[in-house]
Chain A
Amino acid sequence: MSPLSSSLTRLPEVRLRPLMDSYARAVAAQRLRSLLALAGVLLCVGLAAKSAEVDLWKLFENFHRLPSYIIRIFTLESGQPVWTDLAEWFWGLSRWARLLGETVLMAYVGTALGAIGALGLCLLAAANFSPGRWTRIATRRFLEICRTVPELVFALVFVISFGLGPLAGVLAVAIHTLGALGKQFAEVVENGDMKPVDGVSSAGGRWVVAMRFGMLPQVLSNFVSYALLRFEINVRGATIMGFVGAGGIGQDLVEAIRKFYYSDVSAILTLVVLTVFVMDFLTERLRHRLVDVDTQR
């Protein structure tokens, strides 16, 4: 017991009892509800564990393989730890750097194309601009499909139609980005103020002009910051496109893992993690600067 609490006066038992009782009554119903919710969650966990073949014993028995795998990937063929011979560890650096560049470029082009598409579609999906109820519903459903079907599934289909290589990956990233940004852009536009738009229209401005001077200044900073966030996500997403042959570093990574080129696995993962860190850092800086510019205006 801390010195503070020992100096507090404690109420006599006679007065404390009714207070404690009323507290207990007050929380009893809530406790019961929480317990029921917990029981429900536990039931779901049990059912799900059966379906997903969870076997804690197997995990416990084989868990030692995880640290030993991690130690193994940080060990060179010669049995030395990787950092003793950096040239040997990063023997494929020029190839991997090119592939990483390709990965980032895929994320960039995919984000840009998706954002351009979203810019057009968000007006059709926003309640305050949509030409009609059915257009809006159709656009929203389309965007939903674009973001619910995983990128990798699009990539699998595109690899068949466009051939192996980064083109399929970029298009997959772009489609997914279109779905995600289209929704977010539409929400931004819906939250926008219509008065400036009406003002420009009433001065005789055409629709395009009204958009440019009435709506765009309001939404631009939000659009850019959503697009930058999406770019961060897409850099991560583009690193696995190679798993299905759709370009980027993924192909080399999955080959290294599957064929047990241990030290290559750690080298590529290190480069991927570094690239993601650098990209996150840069986009965060850019976002902060844009926000600053926006508040100064």
Chain B
Amino acid sequence: MGRVALASAPLLLLLFGMAWLGFFDGRLGRGIGKLGEMALMMLPPDPGSWARAKLYAWALVETVAIAFLGTMAAAILAFPLSLLAAKNVVASRIIHFLTRRSLDTIRSIDTLVWALIWINVVGLGPFAGVLALMTSDLGTFGKLFSEAIETADRRPVEGVVSTGASRLLRLRFGILPQVFPVIASQILYYFESNTRSATIIGIVGAGGIGMHLAEQIRTLELQQVSFIVLLILLAVMAIDWVSAKIRFAIIGRSNVRTE
């Protein structure tokens, strides 16, 4: 009996939620018909003119550039913060409590909100997008890096300590070689996911292809929409492929080093 109640509670909540959000008032059926029409209008993908195709390609390059710089800047800023948040580097409970809570707060505000805030500082354009991605990734990276540092093996650090090395050298030779491959592959992974995020920050005016995408959807130029989406898919696939190669190279090299 208890198990049945436990299993049916999520289901009831789902049905209640669907009713609340308007699944059953007929809009769903009508919408799906309209969606089908729109899907047909999207085919075949067509940029309209050569000039437009070139414009979109450049916007896509800008998008990738935003993602790349945002990720790199976030990683560089997050590393020192993650040291503060790691228990085995800084032994003060208050410091890591404060660092972790601030990182969590930064992380729970979406990139688009950060983009709007940075637009107030540096104005409209891709630079605001870079800063927005940097800010929201700072929270994520700080958390991920500090976890990587905390799980690092203590013995290499003790070995370095036994030679009388300073704190800095302990980090450089005791911890960094262990965490570098982990951190590098996390950075690469977030570069991919940031490319996806960077495609939408243009919706609020922070550069990249999102501005064109939103504009073409709103004006129902659906063939251009599908062309842009296709471009994004290709770009993400290409980045996926390249980052898999780089990740393999880094992990492979670090394996050689530890042997």
Residues of A within 8 A of B (CB): 1-2, 4-6, 8, 30, 41, 44-45, 47-49, 51-55, 58-59, 62-63, 65-66, 69, 102, 105-106, 108-109, 112-113, 144-145, 148-150, 152-153, 156-158, 160-163, 165-167, 170, 236-237, 239-240, 243-244, 247, 253-254, 257-258, 269, 272-273, 276-277, 280
Contacts and interface: CB of A to CB of B under 8 A. Distances in A.
Interface in B117-162: 117-118, 120-123, 125-127, 129-131, 162
A153 B127 contact: no
B95 interface: no
B218 interface: yes
Given A144-B233, A243-B203, A253-B113, 11 more contacts: A48-B64, A51-B61, A51-B62, A51-B126, A59-B127, A59-B131, A105-B20, A108-B17, A150-B200, A152-B203, A160-B217
Given A148-B233, A157-B217, A253-B113, A112 B31 contact: no
B113 A148 contact: no
Contact of A52 (B18, B20, B65, B233): B65
A115 to B, nearest CB: 10
B164 A54 contact: no
List the 7 closest pairs (A to B, CB-CB), nearest first.
Answer: A5-B164, A162-B31, A48-B65, A276-B108, A51-B65, A109-B17, A161-B34
A244 B130 CA distance: 21
A102 B130 contact: no
Contacts of A66: 117-118, 120-121
A246 B112 CA distance: 15
Contacts of B203: 152, 156, 243-244
Contact of B14 (A65, A112, A243, A276): A112
A69 B120 contact: yes
Contacts of A2: 164
Given A65-B121, A243-B204, A273-B109, A160 B220 contact: yes
A137 B64 CA distance: 27
Nearest to A112: B14
B114 to A, nearest CB: 11
A245 B116 CA distance: 17
Contacts of B176: none
Contacts of A102: 20-21
A98 to B, nearest CB: 11
A166 B65 contact: no
A154 B222 CA distance: 13
A160 to B, nearest CB: 7
Chain B's interface size range is: 35 or more
B163 to A, nearest CB: 7
B116 A109 contact: no
B61 to A, nearest CB: 6
A161 B225 CA distance: 15
A257 B17 contact: no
Contact of A162 (B27, B120, B200): B27
Contact of B122 (A58, A258, A277): A58
29 contacts: A48-B68, A51-B62, A52-B126, A52-B207, A53-B207, A55-B122, A55-B127, A102-B21, A105-B21, A106-B17, A108-B14, A112-B17, A113-B14, A148-B233, A152-B203, A156-B213, A156-B214, A156-B217, A160-B34, A160-B38, A161-B35, A163-B27, A166-B21, A166-B22, A236-B108, A243-B203, A254-B116, A254-B204, A273-B108
A199 to B, nearest CB: 25
Interface in B223-259: 225, 229, 232-233, 236, 257
Contacts of B21: 102, 105-106, 109, 166-167, 170, 247
Contacts of B108: 236, 272-273, 276-277, 280
Contact of A54 (B35, B61, B127): B127
A1 B109 CA distance: 45
Contact of A53 (B126, B218, B225, B257): B126
